[in-house]
Structure 1
Amino acid sequence: MRARNHAARAGGSLPAPAPTRLRRVCLATSIAVLIGMTAPAHAIGLADAYDAALSADPVYAGALKEKEAGDANIGIGRSYLLPNLSANYSNYRDATGTTFFGSPEGDTSTNQSYRAYSEGITLRQPIINLEGLARYRYGKATALASDATFADHSEELLVRVLAAYTDTVFALDQLAFASAQKKALDEQLASNEAMFSNGEGTRTDILETRSKQALAQADVADAQDNVDNTSHVLETLTGLPATLNVDDLDRLSDNYQPKMISPASYEQWRDIALDNNAELDAERHSVEASHQQLEVVRAGFYPHVDLVGSLGKSQSNSVDTIDQRYLTKSIGVEITIPLYSGGMVSASSAQARANYERMQFELQDKTNKVLLDVRKQYNLCVSSLARIDALQSAVASATLLITATHKSVQAGMRTNLDVLTAEQQLYEAKRDLAHARYQYLLADLQLKHAAGVLRAQDLYEEAQWFLPTNQTVSTAKTSATSLHLP
């Protein structure tokens, strides 16, 4: 058994033409054989797929960068309240011509060429700045919204990994079921033909079996395409070469038994979602950010006060100060009072208020959608439990039915068609049972995601039910046994 240490780490196309599918299957088989000759087989578990997706999934990587960009809003907002220090320097060469009129000697002119420069440093510290305070609060709210959005993407990744993984495994199960059924029909057809040759069977039996066999062959082809499609989705999500070693995926244990969700009532899940859902949390912070944006605009009506200090040195920076050098130090309070800006502040305030109220309506809409999702996933979990129990009974009954039907055929009480119908019933019951189990696993994670309490540990706990194929009874073998295959 593989050793895992995940606790410390950390959401249909048309079938390909037959020749294209055949080439793809042959290519995949050749590559798989080549890899099998050069490297030992390594099973891929559900937890392995999640760990790989953390570094390979572009959606998650983009969400991480979005979070980093959002966190920068805190520093941007804080900058409006912190001191602003600036420096200036200029150095140039001046040439000045001066003419003096009305002197006893007549008009005289002088020309001068001199160096002029100035340098200085200015410190400005806001004292009363309502706009800066609102921008700081806006930055905090925006950063918190980004953090909540990233938390939602993190939970969504868990759901997407489980969905891609179980879709692929279920596709493999369907292929195994379809192959087992086709093999059973091949055996049945051979038996019918042998009996007909001995004068014991009928041509009708042969035609019925041959018709079922052709449909089974079509089911196998569809199942192969489904495996190819789902494995490529898993490969894209995780970066693992699923198309090359898809048969090495861990399979759901035959001993898997789902347990009742906890808490058991929808009302408790609803309350948990209202308090913890990451989407709602992000939307609430976005509403607060919109409110602070309104306060930023409103601050345009109010004065702001700054403490200003400066130190400057200059020489010959004007005609009157040629060849004179100055050192200037100043400190004081500067008050800026807005009087009229052409109505821009009033119009911007109306716009910001409308956006703020729109965000409140969007929050309510998001809340309704989240609660609907919670109810949907809760109902799906409950119904899946009942469906799994019913399908387990159906599989057991269908298995007994095949045995009884064979005996009835031998006694002359049933026909070949009854055997084929019983085998089809068992195939469908096993397929539906596998689907119901995967559906419950996914609904369980989706319910926790909608409630905002999904963690990586939840996926790791579900991953314990998936075992390497050499540690659990394979679906194909089970199906073949149930269908009385050699």
Structure 2
Amino acid sequence: MQKPLIAVLLASAFFSLNAQAADLLQVYQQALANDATYASARASAAVGRERVPQGRAGLLPTIGVVGNVTRAKGESTPWNNGAIITDEDGVSQIVQGGSATTTQKQYTVQLSQPLFRWDRWETYQQSKLQQSIAEAQFAQAQQDLITRVAQAYFDVLAAQDTLASTRAQKEAVTEQLASAKRNFEVGTQTITDTHEAQAAYDLVISQEIAAVNDLESKKTALQAIIGTPPAALATLRTGVNLTAPQPINVDQWVSAAENQNYAVSVAQLQVESAKREISKQRSGHYPTLDLVASSQHTSLSGQTQQSGRSTNNAIGISYSIPIFSGFAVTSRVRESIALEDKARNDLEANRRNAALLARQSFLGVNSGLAQVKALEAAEVSSNSALESNKLGYQVGVRINIDVLNAQRQLYQTRTDLAKARYNTILAGLKLKAAAGSLREEDLLPVNALLSQP
């Protein structure tokens, strides 16, 4: 009897956990683990970190072993093969041909240490810049993930609000249509009121279908980031107060964007790398100098008088002086100068774009705050107008279309108010991203604005 009770308790706990809606931070954690774009950026950062060891390797010594084993077999046939030869002592012997096999083993240990190779030094300096570029691009990807998750999250909330508003409007229109039909049947209203209510009902049905499709589309977009179908999401609390960005001076945000934006940082590092590339290509005219050392070991065995072992050790300096390369070096220098000019212009373009994004986001936050305040007042006014029209319709001083229009205006105002709040929050995050200061911690105050539905 205890096992079924435990199973029931565990099941109830499981369903209670599932009933808990996911907030923005939880969705962001899912995106960190599952977003393919972020995973690609993380892998690219790991690739960039390997550039420095590769660049440093060109300045370090190289050691190698080269060897070979040779086996030779030779045969000889004298001109008097088979003849009897008598030596000075009177000893006779038969002259015959023969064969001889020799084995030679040889290996050489070689060491080379660059002493002066300017191109390799510049390659090493470029590798450190490439690592910094990879880190800056990864930081940019982290910021992009925050803004993408927030955008997709609030897009789903906005689509939910639109659908809820449309369904609420459908219920109100349905009641109005039923009322118009009853009044027409008893003769207190004309058929025109019924037709107007029917047209409003048909319109809201089509809007509901579009709202359902839009919600599914927004959920699919969020699923592409977090890797799984999104569960219920925590919604924005009613009547939240949004604050203005700090500092309130747009020039400070623009200045931060021009100097701290990650796209600008990447462009600055690329300019430095382009400068190093010019120096690297010019090194084609410079001599190279290496320290070389070797130790050669040879052993010879077989039917030969030269059998034995030998060792030869050598150390010295190897140098190379370029004289003429068909103007290839000069051409590569001109090419790298042009690429450096391109990098400078790209830097200026990124700096201007960062300043533009900062201004647009700053204006988006301030205009959003003003719009929210205006729509909050409009919501109160629209609600009062709807109540007045309903009362006027009941006493006969208002017609059915007046009530329908008042209902439509109220629900549209509520939808616009929710979107304005979402857009204002997103503009604040994009403003920090443009200034290069957006961090995961910035989601905490946004997440505090949410509540369980």
**TM-score normalised by L of structure 2:** 0.88
Question: For residue 270 of structure 1, what is the aligned residue in structure 2?
Answer: 254
For 1:95 and 1:283, locate their aligned partners in 2 and report how far apart those are by CA, in whole Å: 67
For 1:350 and 1:371, locate their aligned partners in 2 and report how far apart those are by CA, in whole Å: 32
SS at match of 1:263: coil
Question: For residue 27 of structure 2, what is the aligned residue in structure 1?
Answer: 49
Shift of the alpha carbon at 1:315?
Answer: 3.1
Whether the 8 Å CA contact 1:172–1:227 is kept in 2: the answer is: yes
Question: For residue 290 of structure 1, what is the aligned residue in structure 2?
Answer: 274
SS at match of 1:124: strand
Shift of the alpha carbon at 1:337?
Answer: 1.6
> Which deviates further from its counterpart, 437-446 or 83-92?
83-92
For 1:309 and 1:110, locate their aligned partners in 2 and report how far apart those are by CA, in whole Å: 42
For 2:51 and 2:166, locate their aligned partners in 1 and report how far apart those are by CA, in whole Å: 56
Question: For residue 319 of structure 2, what is the aligned residue in structure 1?
Answer: 335
Whether the 8 Å CA contact 2:255–2:355 is kept in 1: the answer is: no
Shift of the alpha carbon at 1:112?
Answer: 4.5
- Matching of residue 138 in structure 1 with residue 126 in structure 2: yes
The C-alpha deviation readout for 1:363-388, integer Å capped at 9, x for no partner, is 11122222111111111111111101
Shift of the alpha carbon at 1:293?
Answer: 2.1
For 1:269 and 1:370, locate their aligned partners in 2 and report how far apart those are by CA, in whole Å: 10
SS at match of 2:415: helix
Whether the 8 Å CA contact 2:104–2:299 is kept in 1: the answer is: yes
For 2:419 and 2:127, locate their aligned partners in 1 and report how far apart those are by CA, in whole Å: 46
SS at match of 1:264: coil
For 1:231 and 1:413, locate their aligned partners in 2 and report how far apart those are by CA, in whole Å: 45
Question: For residue 76 of structure 1, what is the aligned residue in structure 2?
Answer: 54
Shift of the alpha carbon at 1:97?
Answer: 7.4
SS at match of 1:310: strand
For 1:337 and 1:98, locate their aligned partners in 2 and report how far apart those are by CA, in whole Å: 50
Give the share of equivalent positions with the same residue, in percent.
29
Shift of the alpha carbon at 1:38?
Answer: 11
| Moved >6 Å (runs of 4+) | 36-39, 97-100
Shift of the alpha carbon at 1:416?
Answer: 1.3
RMSD: 2.4
The answer for unaligned runs of 5 or more in structure 2 is: 1-13, 79-96
For 1:454 and 1:39, locate their aligned partners in 2 and report how far apart those are by CA, in whole Å: 31
Equivalent runs, 1:328-367 vs 2, <5 Å: 328-367=312-351
Whether the 8 Å CA contact 1:384–1:436 is kept in 2: the answer is: yes
Equivalent runs, 1:158-169 vs 2, <5 Å: 158-169=146-157
Shift of the alpha carbon at 1:110?
Answer: 9.0
> Which deviates further from its counterpart, 37-46 or 402-411?
37-46
For 1:37 and 1:128, locate their aligned partners in 2 and report how far apart those are by CA, in whole Å: 70
SS at match of 2:66: strand
For 1:279 and 1:322, locate their aligned partners in 2 and report how far apart those are by CA, in whole Å: 71
For 1:365 and 1:98, locate their aligned partners in 2 and report how far apart those are by CA, in whole Å: 83
SS at match of 1:386: helix
For 1:373 and 1:212, locate their aligned partners in 2 and report how far apart those are by CA, in whole Å: 41
Question: For residue 4 of structure 2, what is the aligned residue in structure 1?
Answer: none
Shift of the alpha carbon at 1:267?
Answer: 0.7
> Which deviates further from its counterpart, 442-451 or 407-416?
407-416
Whether the 8 Å CA contact 1:252–1:466 is kept in 2: the answer is: yes
Shift of the alpha carbon at 1:312?
Answer: 2.0
The answer for unaligned runs of 5 or more in structure 1 is: 1-35, 101-108, 470-486
For 2:264 and 2:50, locate their aligned partners in 1 and report how far apart those are by CA, in whole Å: 22
Question: For residue 397 of structure 1, what is the aligned residue in structure 2?
Answer: 381
Question: For residue 107 of structure 2, what is the aligned residue in structure 1?
Answer: 119
Whether the 8 Å CA contact 1:49–1:240 is kept in 2: the answer is: no
Shift of the alpha carbon at 1:342?
Answer: 2.4
SS at match of 2:247: coil
The C-alpha deviation readout for 1:221-274, integer Å capped at 9, x for no partner, is 0000011100011111112322xx3xx211001131110101112110011112
Shift of the alpha carbon at 1:461?
Answer: 2.0
**TM-score normalised by L of structure 1:** 0.82
SS at match of 1:93: strand
> Which deviates further from its counterpart, 424-433 or 195-204?
195-204
Question: For residue 59 of structure 1, what is the aligned residue in structure 2?
Answer: 37
One-letter amino acid of the structure 2 residue matched with residue 53 of structure 1: A
Give the number of the structure whose alpha-carbon radius of gyration is greater: 2
Whether the 8 Å CA contact 1:315–1:321 is kept in 2: the answer is: no
For 1:99 and 1:256, locate their aligned partners in 2 and report how far apart those are by CA, in whole Å: 110
One-letter amino acid of the structure 1 residue matched with residue 189 of structure 2: G
SS at match of 1:260: coil
The C-alpha deviation readout for 1:299-337, integer Å capped at 9, x for no partner, is 1111122222222212359xx995353212222222222
SS at match of 2:322: coil
One-letter amino acid of the structure 1 residue matched with residue 38 of structure 2: Y
Question: For residue 178 of structure 1, what is the aligned residue in structure 2?
Answer: 166
Distance 1:283 1:116, change over 3 A: same
Question: For residue 293 of structure 2, what is the aligned residue in structure 1?
Answer: 309
> Which deviates further from its counterpart, 216-225 or 332-341?
332-341
For 2:141 and 2:109, locate their aligned partners in 1 and report how far apart those are by CA, in whole Å: 47
> Which deviates further from its counterpart, 165-174 or 307-316?
307-316
Whether the 8 Å CA contact 1:308–1:332 is kept in 2: the answer is: yes
One-letter amino acid of the structure 1 residue matched with residue 329 of structure 2: V
Question: For residue 206 of structure 2, what is the aligned residue in structure 1?
Answer: 218
Whether the 8 Å CA contact 2:20–2:452 is kept in 1: the answer is: no
